Structure 1
Amino acid sequence: MIIASVDIGTNTVLLLIAEVGETSFEITPLLNEYKMPRIGIGLKLSGRIAVERIEKLFTVLSEYKSIISKYNVDNVLVTATNALRIAANAPEIVERIKKQLSWNVNIISGKTEAEFAFLGAVPVSTKNKNILVIDIGGGSTELILGNENSIEYRKSFPIGSVSVTENYLKNSPPLDMGLRELKIHLETIFTEIKNKVAPDLTYSIAGTPTTLFCMMNEIKSFDDSIVEGGILKHGDIAKLIQELQKLSSEEIRNHYGKIMRGREDIILGGSIILLNIMELLHLSNVIVSSRGVRYGAIVSFLNGMQNKG
């Protein structure tokens, strides 16, 4: 069986085409595509996804439709997260996707997003441990603690790399006052996790950790196989944040090149969120994963098939 899974996020729209084992349900990626239409820009202020961003989204989705048509795909799963959860014009966008591309969009709750992130990111071989998954998106951050038996804690926090940038890091380079206010805000919003989350292993997924890993290891072109399983250390992240705070978005883009395209203005905000969580939980390192919701959507779909069967 071949399944295509599209993840419509606040920053990125991701495509996974994967082959699934007939009996084992093992997911083998055939293709991963990453595009950044950044539909969440200005969403917090206006409450709507801007017309120009909608057009960028449909350019990406149309390209993905063309790619999918070249594979013998049995099912197409389209999952949407925070941006379409909160946008007032989400219904018309979903309707247009249905009409134009013949895809049904599943706008998932923060709770379900957390579950999908966990299902997608955590290898079967580690699920006998207590695993924490940190999923920093553009408009929300999900924390999920679980093991092979159950999910013990999950929460979606309404804060992400785009929203903290728009609210606290508008200047480029950022002002010291904005950095201080952001730190206070993060400590307040995440304070509950200190006594509720005690993981054996921690995975960090999505664009922030994968980009950080590429930056630290001078990787110029993103490759899932190189990034997957990489380690980010607390001290290295803290050091890089100190450097990024002094640079404008343009300087960041020029220094790090193609790997930073479309993320140069928000990588600092995402990095600060990650470091704050690590400090609250006294984590010395996190494991990087490029997997997440799009993989979890397939796992959830397969689990549903098993239950029906």
Structure 2
Amino acid sequence: MIPTKAAIIDMGTNTFHLLLVELYADRFETIYKEKIPVKIGQGGISRNTIHPDAEKRAFHTLHHFRNLIDGEGITSIFAFATSGVRNADNGKEFVAKIKEEFQIDVLVIDGEQEAQMIYEGIRFSGSLNGETCLMMDIGGGSVEFIIGNSQEAFWRKSFEIGGQRMLDLFHYHDPILPGEVENLTVYLEEKLGDLVNAIKKYNPTGIVGSSGTFDTLTDIYFASLHETKLKTQQVFQLPREEFELIVQKLLTLNREERLLIPGMIEMRVDMIVVAACLIEYILKFVPVSTLTCSSFALKEGAIAELMGKHSQAVSLMSR
């Protein structure tokens, strides 16, 4: 089968991802991938706007991405924007400027679509089996929760409580104060009632976290073992006890000290504290002994959809 080249741009609230791939019927091969901490929510997310400085960073990054895409001669570009853009009053204007400047059509997806694409990405990674799991993806603007197994998603919902929002609302001191953690917990109790009800209804017995925060948590864990994660591996296990040890460090160290933790990266060092508090809160309701971490998320979910379309197109052509 002749592969099709495609570019996927995931314009997250914290990070912009570029993935250049060759698509086959049942697999894809990565030509190139890059992630840049654009932080489009910084300075404006709490006021539902994209700050001019954030827009500048976004355009600088998209210019760089466009050059890489053109260098590979790729014409199929699939760009998605999530919480930071969909909730911004100037989001439509921002997307129109991108179209004009870079000839890239950005699809602003709603929370339901985002959760479904994340589920497809996690499923594609091989993280799921017959067990009912709670899946979670902690973005900068929103957090997606899905309950399901390798066959289907029974329940999914996006909550606008992402890392940048929690950071703006609760993390005023560094290290974070116990009182700030308490306030964050009260906030999560208020916001996540629907999730708690869904957990009671479907009774998941496993937790799968995708990408972002979970990538960094597993990097820290593997660094503590003096091991490196295999690039060919998409699924990693993080023992609960080890996660708790990491959380204790995150809650008691300041930014400079957190940066010195082996496995930590600068783009994650600020939001990881509140993200870890969110995971701690979820573990009250799904008390697992091991967290499963999928390196695949939304952009790989998009690839799974594209691969399905590619194989359908090839089978139609061969008739």
Is the TM value for this pair above 0.5? yes
Percent identity of the aligned residues? Answer: 25
What CA distance in whole angstroms lies between the structure 2 residues aligned with 1:118 and 1:74?
Answer: 27
Q: Which runs of 5+ in 2 are unaligned?
A: none
For the 8 Å contact 2:46–2:168, the answer to whether it is kept is no
For the 8 Å contact 1:133–1:204, the answer to whether it is kept is yes
What CA distance in whole angstroms lies between the structure 2 residues aligned with 1:270 and 1:107?
Answer: 24
Q: How does 1:1-309 map to 2 (within 5 A)?
A: 1-21=4-24, 24-123=25-124, 126=128, 128-190=130-192, 191-199=196-204, 201-218=206-223, 225=231, 228-253=234-259, 255-256=260-261, 259-303=264-308
Please list the CA deviations of residues 106-158 of structure 1 after superposition, one character each: whole Å capped at 9, or x if unmatched.
00010000010011122375455534321111111111123454321101111
For the 8 Å contact 1:210–1:227, the answer to whether it is kept is no
What CA distance in whole angstroms lies between the structure 1 residues aligned with 2:244 and 2:79?
Answer: 36
Deviation of 1:302 after TM superposition, in Å, equals 4.1
Q: Which range is displaced more, 194-203 or 53-62?
A: 194-203
Say which SS state the counterpart of residue 189 (structure 2) adopts: helix
Deviation of 1:52 after TM superposition, in Å, equals 0.6
Say which SS state the counterpart of residue 231 (structure 2) adopts: helix
Say which SS state the counterpart of residue 287 (structure 2) adopts: coil
Deviation of 1:94 after TM superposition, in Å, equals 0.4
What CA distance in whole angstroms lies between the structure 2 residues aligned with 1:127 and 1:40?
Answer: 35
- The AA in structure 1 aligned to 2:59 is F
Please list the CA deviations of residues 174-217 of structure 1 after superposition, one character each: whole Å capped at 9, or x if unmatched.
12211111122223433324313433543211211111111222
1:111–1:89 Cα change, 3 Å: same
For the 8 Å contact 2:209–2:292, the answer to whether it is kept is yes
When normalised by structure 2's length, the TM-score is 0.87
Deviation of 1:87 after TM superposition, in Å, equals 0.6
- The AA in structure 2 aligned to 1:238 is E
What CA distance in whole angstroms lies between the structure 2 residues aligned with 1:210 and 1:194?
Answer: 24
What CA distance in whole angstroms lies between the structure 2 residues aligned with 1:100 and 1:47?
Answer: 23
What CA distance in whole angstroms lies between the structure 2 residues aligned with 1:231 and 1:137?
Answer: 20
What CA distance in whole angstroms lies between the structure 1 residues aligned with 2:209 and 2:117?
Answer: 14
What CA distance in whole angstroms lies between the structure 2 residues aligned with 1:132 and 1:139?
Answer: 20
Q: Which runs of 5+ in 1 are unaligned?
A: none
1:176–1:259 Cα change, 3 Å: closer
Say which SS state the counterpart of residue 56 (structure 2) adopts: helix
Please list the CA deviations of residues 89-110 of structure 1 after superposition, one character each: whole Å capped at 9, or x if unmatched.
1111101110111010000010
- The AA in structure 2 aligned to 1:276 is Y
- The AA in structure 2 aligned to 1:297 is A
- The AA in structure 2 aligned to 1:240 is I
1:27–1:132 Cα change, 3 Å: farther
For the 8 Å contact 2:205–2:288, the answer to whether it is kept is no
- The AA in structure 2 aligned to 1:98 is K
- The AA in structure 1 aligned to 2:7 is A
Please list the CA deviations of residues 275-295 of structure 1 after superposition, one character each: whole Å capped at 9, or x if unmatched.
221231122222212211111
What CA distance in whole angstroms lies between the structure 2 residues aligned with 1:90 and 1:222?
Answer: 39
- The AA in structure 2 aligned to 1:229 is V
1:209–1:39 Cα change, 3 Å: same
What CA distance in whole angstroms lies between the structure 1 residues aligned with 2:31 and 2:243?
Answer: 32
What CA distance in whole angstroms lies between the structure 1 residues aligned with 2:269 and 2:250?
Answer: 10
For the 8 Å contact 1:135–1:205, the answer to whether it is kept is yes
1:285–1:197 Cα change, 3 Å: farther
Please list the CA deviations of residues 58-103 of structure 1 after superposition, one character each: whole Å capped at 9, or x if unmatched.
1111111111122242411001110011011111110111011101
Say which SS state the counterpart of residue 118 (structure 2) adopts: helix
What CA distance in whole angstroms lies between the structure 2 residues aligned with 1:228 and 1:148?
Answer: 15
What CA distance in whole angstroms lies between the structure 2 residues aligned with 1:32 and 1:266?
Answer: 22
